[in-house]
Amino acid sequence: MGLREKLDELRQQGLKDVDNSEDLDRINDIRVRLLGKKGPIKEALRGMRELSADERPKIGQFANEIRDDLTKAIDKRREELEFAKINAQLEQETIDVTLPGSEVAQGQPHVIQQIIDELVDLFVGMGYEVAVGDEVEEDHYNFEMLNLPKDHPARDMQDTFYVTPEVLMRTQTSPMQARMLEKHDFSKGPLKMISPGKVYRRDTDDATHSHQFHQVEGMVIGKHITMADLKGTLEVVAQELFGDELQVRLRPSYFPFTEPSVEADITCFNCLGKGCAICKHTGWIEVLGAGMTHPNVLKMAGIDPEVYGGFAFGLGPDRFAMLKYGVEDIRDFYQNDVRFLTQFDQKG
Amino acid sequence: MKVSYKWLQEYLDIDINPTDLAEKIARTSVDINDVYSPSDGLKKLVVGHIESVEPHPDSDHLTLCQVDNGEETVQIVCGAPNVVAGKNVIVALPGARIGNNIKIKRSKMRGEISEGMLCALQEIGFSEKIAPKAYDEGIWFLPDDAKPGESVFPYLGMDDTIIDTDITPNRGDMFSMLGNVNDIAAFYGLKSHFKTLNVKENSTTSTADLIKVQIDDTNLAPTYKLRVINNIEIKDSPMWMQIRLWNAGIRPINNVVDVTNYILLKYGQPLHSFDYDKLPEKEIKVRFAKKDEAFTTLDEDERKLNEQDVVVTAGDKPAALAGTMGGLDTAISNETKNVALEAAIFNPTLIRKQARRHDLHSESSTRFERGINPETVETALNEAAELIAELGNGTVATGIVTGSEAAINEPKVEMKLARINHVLGTQMKMEDVTNIFDRLAFDYNVDGDTITVTVPARRWDVSIEADLLEEIARIYGYDNLPSTLPEQTSNIGALSLRQNLIRSSRHVLEGEGLNQAISYSLTTNDKAEQFQIENHGTPMLLDYPMSQDHIATRMSLISGLLNDIAYNIARKQKDVRLYEQGRIFTTDNDGIRPLEQEHIAGAMTGQLLNNNWHQENHSVDFYDLKGIVERYLENMSLSGTVTFVPSNERAELHPGRTANIKLDDQLIGFIGQVHPQIAKEYKIPETYVFELNLEAIIEAPKQGRHYDEISKYPSIKRDIALLLDDNTLNSDITAAINKKGGSYLVDVHLFDVYQGAHLPAHKKSLAYTLTYQDKNGTLTEDQVNESFDKVVSYLTAEFDTEIR
Ligand SMILES: [Zn+2]
């Protein structure tokens, strides 16, 4: 048998052995045995000395081809076996991915806080400053400075927790209007402020009344502030909170600290204006009170109403939350049942 | 006010769907409570003629009536005591729907067929308070000329539509048909056909000879006028008038009282009728009541008056609580022959307080509170006198006796066109403005670009420029105003540092698993003063609280959180993790108001996690909450050093499980377990709480956001375990290690605490890993050994310890 035939036979046998090997150890053995220094190919090539000078390179090249073929076959087979081994291991490691994941403790902001933050961000984005006032106020700022003198009928409407004849739990966040008007430097431009916070009324708590609730009030006073600006602002607020497909309707109202005064209604988001129980079959839901700041309020704060003017508006986050989420009992906001608190976890 | 659409149609040529009219009123004048027809929900109610009445053979109170229902004569069983042959009545046919959504069927009553039902007004939707008293016990009789088979609704005014308005405090003028007609005419640009009835003084007697009026204090009654009507006959008023009243929610009584109420509706002018003959003296005065003066009002209630009440007196004897309710002694009765009729304007504030004090809110008092049109006091008095005389066949004495008369005030207000457009954001022309005042029927003068408006007395809510701007805006239509946004300012809107820190405090605690609670700031006296960080004494108390549960302002947030936990526990929610951010109120300052501080507090009870297949669970303990507080404080990046110092002096907390939280030397809060005794009082299980003074954290110097270069050189660790007395504090050991650790010591980490079987009694083992690192080079073992040995020998010397 010639050298070439011998080599070819080695190749055939080697490829067969590789194909038949079933584990990685065996394939390693084959590699060492066939391609190692003492392997049959090296052994066979020792017979090259006996070949002619022009046969020699041909056989050498042939031997290299065989070595490459075998190496490729071994690598391929090893990959196959490794892959099979990993697959077997992975199959063993299979878990029930439908079991629940580990619990991650995450707290939620209170729903009223969420509404307040949303409004604050909206107005801060429009260049308003946030003015947070005290919850215990003076009669002077809570009422008198807002054009509500001692015998004003509107004082009956809002029953008040007095501490002394001069000190009370604020019934509205509006005292901040008066305080900010006194403080603001109008040479630096208009005053644009929003004032969120807790307020108190002397009420018996039930499903629709609470002695404690929240208000967000805003005010803009400058040289060129118009009622059209008020209308535009109220539309932005209503649409931000309830969606911009809803219409806004203004109608006359009365507040001692604004004139003209308006109430802003939005199309009922439940029935889209057709009429339902939520909107008391009117198709509209009252969401905001507002108006052009009364000249007396400006005068009392030492501001000339002939030169400066503007608007104020107020709304109740508690009422918003009740409307928006269908909360039927206002006490739910202040009793803090964890099943209530953890529902408002939507951040998207 | 319940405004009748049909009545409006008498004065205005309108043919608009009442719902649309109501919408227009809402957008232009006053709010709308409701739009409805009295016949809503009712059907198959027809006129029936009773042909005969026989007793029911099997009942002593039922009768068998043969009734012509327009189609045929049928038998209807009736239980009304006043049923009588020959009368026209309300028949509910089989298939009819009557009040309270009741359906009427053909039926048998005690063996006798009944083809429907004869109805009282209360049975077809009239409230008990409105249905005339005379028919209280029986069925209603329709007019004799009513045609059997026709719907009863037109006969009873139930085919009308009622627009129920909700009147804002300023629009007192809208409490009358006259006010409504004027406003609707203005916004639709219609002509008003409002009619008044003139008085015919058909008596030779002069009123002044019959009665005198003396008003000493015109502040009580700025206007006071009287007329006398003689020789009248008391009877029911005509149907048309009764319908007007009951559709407005007022019960018809008799021809005198009904006229006063009719005029009240028409003009908004309350009137009061006295039985002239029962006035003890024929001199009328108005004065404040005396302290504890007794007076029995029409409702037969004997009241004790006080010095703020205003009374109308005959001689010196009270005859009426002014503007609020008349007296029983001088009331109109079926025997009344002569009537003294009062038309006045009383002081609105005094009437409001008086009505409130006596809980007597009436149609009259409401109108006096909101103001009276001075232009129509006499018109209303005259028309009422005429109607009483006509309806009672009496005579009107000559002349009006006037005790006081308020001047009619018609302010003139000057405005520039540019000003109007500047405030409203509009681009109106002068003719747009004058058109609006034409519609409102306000007089004006135009001089160039200036308009001077004379405000009529009937619109007493209008007196300054802002009021006129409102009139212009609402008639122009808020819908027609443009929508713009205020001018931009140069300052960038942003939260202040303080507001930002408060907001991020909330976010951090939420991220750590606490839910935000908002509790009541007002609580009981005892709870208000619990859990104070520093003792500020007693809480601020309300002068006139509503409930004992909410009487004092809180001085800590924790008591509210414990209330919340108790609420959850009572509802079987055992795992509760809450925080609250809010105000506390301290009173030990000099001001007239308490000092308000922002605080943040948390409370946890129950299991840390829900029962979970995958994670080991355990009951919340001190260290769980402490971890949250430590993490939070790290987030606040305070420059100073925070320490937790054992405290056994807080009465509401477990003396062995409480720490004061200090920032350098300043007390900024505490953390601990609620004392079991207090927990019992709140009805809560084992609970851990913390409270921090946010003001201190806001004011404290901050490190701000910063970066430490990560060392390129390796660190070397050494472990040390110490056997110590079990009352030795970890903080003392770590302080000692840090003190002697040298400049390469970068971290001291406690990795084990052991106490138990393998140790002697009252001993514990604490084990720490000390990490050494040099920023500028590689440490050698020798350097570390040297440092470490110093620590070991110091600890050995300072503490009674054994190094293990
Ligand atoms: Zn609706």
Structural domain count of chain A: 2
Mean pLDDT of chain A: 89
Residues A136, A169 contacting (CB under 8 angstroms): yes
Cβ-defined contact of A103 to B425 (cutoff 8 Å): no
In angstroms, the CA B350 to CA B347 distance is: 6
Residue B252 placed within a domain:
yes
Residue B395 placed within a domain:
yes
In angstroms, the CA B678 to CA B319 distance is: 61
Same domain? A192 vs A328? yes
pLDDT recorded at residue A157: 52
pLDDT recorded at residue A34: 81
Statement: residue A298 has pLDDT above 70: yes
Same domain? B557 vs B694? yes
Same domain? B300 vs B213? yes
Any chain B CB within 8 A of the CB of A292? Answer: yes
Residues facing B643 on adjacent strands: B662
Residue B358 placed within a domain:
yes
Residues B24, B77 contacting (CB under 8 angstroms): no
Any chain B CB within 8 A of the CB of A213? Answer: no
In angstroms, the CA B354 to CA A155 distance is: 15
Cβ-defined contact of A109 to B576 (cutoff 8 Å): no
CA A277–ligand 1 middle distance (angstroms): 6
**Which residues of chain B have a pLDDT value below 50?**
none
For residue B585, list chain A residues with Cβ-Cβ distance below 8 A: 135-136
CA A267–ligand 1 middle distance (angstroms): 8
> Which residues have CB under 8 Å from A99's CB, separation 6+?
B613, B614
Residues B512, A107 contacting (CB under 8 angstroms): yes
Residue A192 has its nearest CB partner, among B486, B518, B579, at: B486
Residues facing B287 on adjacent strands: B311
Same domain? A226 vs A148? yes
Residue A260, preceding bond cis, omega within 30 degrees? Answer: yes
pLDDT recorded at residue A294: 96
Last residue of a domain, one of A30, A65, A92: A92
Same domain? B471 vs B551? no
Residues B360, B297 contacting (CB under 8 angstroms): yes
Q: Give percent helix, percent strand, percent coil of chain B, each to the nearest 5.
A: 30, 30, 40
Cβ-defined contact of A107 to B511 (cutoff 8 Å): yes
Cβ-defined contact of B518 to A113 (cutoff 8 Å): yes
Same domain? A152 vs A256? yes
Task: Count the Cβ atoms, other than its own, within 10 Å of residue A72.
Answer: 12
In angstroms, the CA B668 to CA A323 distance is: 40
Domain ranges, residue B660 = 497-699
For residue B466, list chain A residues with Cβ-Cβ distance below 8 A: 259-260, 292, 294-295
CA A248–ligand 1 middle distance (angstroms): 14
Same domain? B388 vs B315? yes
Cβ-defined contact of A220 to B491 (cutoff 8 Å): no
Same domain? B552 vs B636? yes
pLDDT single digits (tens) B249-277 = 999 999 999 999 999 999 999 999 999 99
Same domain? A159 vs A63? no
Pairing of strands B552-553, B515-516: unpaired
Same domain? B63 vs B144? yes
Residue A347 placed within a domain:
no
Domain CATH code at residue B599 = 3.30.930.10
Last residue of a domain, one of A92, A119, A143: A92
Same domain? B565 vs B661? yes
Q: Per the annotation, does B470 bind a ligand? A: yes
Any chain B CB within 8 A of the CB of A262? Answer: yes
pLDDT recorded at residue A156: 61
Residue A127 has its nearest CB partner, among B492, B550, B614, at: B492
Structural domain count of chain B: 6
Question: Hunting for tokens 């309806």 — which residue is that?
Answer: B391
In angstroms, the CA A278 to CA A276 distance is: 6
Distance from CA of B537 to the nearest CA of A (A): 17
Cβ-defined contact of A222 to B490 (cutoff 8 Å): no
DSSP class of B546: S
DSSP class of B538: S
Residue A348 placed within a domain:
no
Residue A119 placed within a domain:
yes
Same domain? A295 vs A191? yes
Tell me the two tokens of residue B23.
């919408």
Nearest to B50 by CA among B26, B74, B34, B31: B74
Residue B150 placed within a domain:
yes
For residue B496, list chain A residues with Cβ-Cβ distance below 8 A: 130
> Which residues have CB under 8 Å from A306's CB, separation 6+?
none
Domain ranges, residue A9 = 3-92
Residue A103 placed within a domain:
no
pLDDT recorded at residue B801: 83
Task: Count the Cβ atoms, other than its own, within 10 Å of residue B490.
Answer: 7
Residue B194 placed within a domain:
no
pLDDT recorded at residue A1: 61
Residue B771 placed within a domain:
yes
φ and ψ of A261, to 5 deg: -115, 145
Same domain? B421 vs B395? no
Domain CATH code at residue B438 = 3.30.56.10
Cβ-defined contact of A124 to B514 (cutoff 8 Å): no
Same domain? A87 vs A116? no
Nearest to B286 by CA among B217, B349, B338: B217
Same domain? B109 vs B247? no
Same domain? B741 vs B781? yes
DSSP A137-204: EEHHHHTGGGT--TT-THHHHS---EEETTEEE-SSSTHHHHHHHHH--GGG--EEEEEEEEEE----
Same domain? B306 vs B324? yes
Same domain? B373 vs B256? yes
> ipTM value of the model?
0.88
Domain CATH code at residue B273 = 3.50.40.10
Residue A99 placed within a domain:
no
Cβ-defined contact of B27 to A163 (cutoff 8 Å): no
Residues A310, A292 contacting (CB under 8 angstroms): yes
Q: Which of B488, B546, B580 to mutate to test the interface with A (most CBs of A within 10 A)?
A: B546
Domain CATH code at residue A281 = 3.30.930.10
Same domain? A54 vs A118? no
> Which residues have CB under 8 Å from B287's CB, separation 6+?
B216, B217, B220, B310, B311, B313
Same domain? A116 vs A63? no
Residue B34 placed within a domain:
no
Looking at chain A, which residue has its C-alpha nearest residue B518?
A: A334
Element (H, E) at A17: helix A3-20
Cα distances (angstroms) measured from residue B663 to each of B175, B508, B633, B660, B701:
65, 19, 10, 10, 11
Same domain? A128 vs A66? no
Same domain? A184 vs A329? yes
Last residue of a domain, one of A37, A60, A92: A92
Cβ-defined contact of A138 to B592 (cutoff 8 Å): yes
Same domain? A118 vs A74? no
Looking at chain A, which residue has its C-alpha nearest residue B616?
A: A102
Q: Pinpoint the alpha helices (H) of B428-583.
A: 430-440, 465-476, 497-511, 525-528, 558-570
> Which residues have CB under 8 Å from B227's CB, separation 6+?
B199, B207, B340, B341, B343, B381, B382, B384, B385, B396, B397, B400, B401
In angstroms, the CA A205 to CA A208 distance is: 8
Residues B323, B344 contacting (CB under 8 angstroms): yes
Distance from CA of A80 to the nearest CA of B (A): 37
pLDDT single digits (tens) B477-508 = 999 999 999 987 777 778 999 999 999 999 99
Q: Per the annotation, does A259 bind a ligand? A: yes
Any chain B CB within 8 A of the CB of A151? Answer: yes
Same domain? A68 vs A147? no
Pairing of strands B716-725, B802-803: antiparallel
Reading across the β-sheet that carries A191-200, which strands appear in turn?
A: A129-130, A191-200, A212-222, A309-315, A284-293, A258-267, A248-255
Q: Tell me the one-letter amino acid at B388.
A: I
Tell me the two tokens of residue B266.
């028409």
pLDDT single digits (tens) A20-32 = 888 888 888 888 8
Nearest to B442 by CA among B185, B168, B194: B185
Residue B486 placed within a domain:
no
CA A111–ligand 1 middle distance (angstroms): 23
Cβ-defined contact of A117 to B503 (cutoff 8 Å): yes
In a 13 Å sphere around the CA of B99, the CA atoms on its Cβ side amount to: 14
Residue A297 placed within a domain:
yes
Tell me the two tokens of residue B215.
């008003």
Spell out which residues have Cβ within 5 A of ligand 1, the ion: A 268, 270-271, 276, 278-279
Residue A163 placed within a domain:
yes
Rounded to the nearest angstrom, the gap between the alpha carbon of residue B622 and the centroid of all alpha carbons in its chain is 43
Q: Tell me the one-letter amino acid at B689.
A: V
